[in-house]
Amino acid sequence: MQLITELNKLKTPKDYISDGRTHIFPSEASLQWFIRKNRNLLIQASALLCPTGRTLIDANHFDEVVYAVGTNALKQDSSIKEVGALLSSREAV
């Protein structure tokens, strides 16, 4: 039953945007750009899945990556190692 609940949380990119995130990603193209730029990090964080040949988003994990990338961008030193460390520290809390 827990697994089914988790699978129900997966969203298409379009649904992810329309679920209150248009202020961050005003279009599907902007979301696709973010995914291209941060693909490895998103996969590492289990934020992107492709179980049936189409991309699905785990919204909670994806939001964590967006937050970490955004926080790191303000520091003007956006290396994947630093963002990964930020994500790990947030998971420990």
Give the whole-angstrom CA distance, residue 33 versus residue 88. Answer: 24
Say how many domains are in the chain: 1
Between 89 and 54, name the one with better pLDDT. Answer: 54
Place of tokens 């934020």: 47
Q: Is the dihedral of CA 18, 80, 70, 91 positive or negative?
A: positive
Q: Which domain holds residue 9?
A: 2-92
Q: Where are the beta strands (DSSP E) in the chain?
A: 10-11, 48-49, 56-58
Mean pLDDT across 46-51: 92
Q: Is the pLDDT of residue 6 over 80?
A: no
Number of Cβ within a 10 Å radius of residue 35: 19
Compute the mean pLDDT over every residue in the chain, rounded to the nearest whole number: 85
Give the per-residue pLDDT at 33.
97
Give the whole-angstrom CA distance, residue 72 versus residue 82. Answer: 8
Q: How confident is the model at residue 47 (pLDDT cuts 50, 70, 90)?
A: very high
